[in-house]
Amino acid sequence: MTAQRDHHDISTLVSRLFRALDARAFADGWADGCFTDDVRTTTPVGDAEGADAVRHAEVAVGRFARTQHIASDVLVDVGGDGESATASWNALMVHIHHDSTLRERGEGANPLFTVGGVYETELRRTPGGWRISRMDVRAVWTTGEPPVVTA
């Protein structure tokens, strides 16, 4: 594998992940094409591992009526073994609140909660291609109010 091919494959993985989140494409096994079974994540929703990490992603986007995740400046570094890599990218994450949230907040409530962030990941090459084994999401800035979280 060439470095250029690995960069392409990992960048495509990032795009597939963001598209799945925005499309709410959460059929059984949806995350198998993005994450290893033992993935560990650290996000604004919390820390999680394995299937719990996948559920955290589903819950996080479900707190909004719609989302749009945009990745840019994907940087990839494949390890000397060719079986591991790190990747990082900037992300713009636009979230549109549910109508119920806007009603609760009252007239003039901002329908948007926008986050500029950075993703830092570790990846492993699997028989099915590159998969994220570790993902840290860090918010750099936000505008608007976060969602109303009910227990």
Q: Domain residues of the chain, as ranges?
A: 3-143
pLDDT exceeds 80 at position 149: no
The pLDDT of residue 150: 67
- The overall average pLDDT reported for the chain is 94
- Average pLDDT score over residue span 17-30: 93
Closest CA to 57 of 65, 66, 48: 48
Pick the CATH number of 3-143 from 3.10.450.50, 3.40.50.410, 1.10.3190.10, 3.40.190.10: 3.10.450.50
- Residues paired with residue 38 on neighbouring β-strands, in sequence order: none
Cα separation, 57 vs 12, whole angstroms: 19
The pLDDT of residue 65: 97
pTM of the full predicted structure? Answer: 0.92
Q: Encode pLDDT of 34-80 as tens digits.
A: 999 999 999 988 899 999 999 999 999 999 999 999 999 999 999 99
The pLDDT of residue 7: 96
Residue for token pair 């707190």: 63
Q: How many helices (H) and strands (E) does the chain have?
A: 3, 6
- Average pLDDT score over residue span 18-24: 96
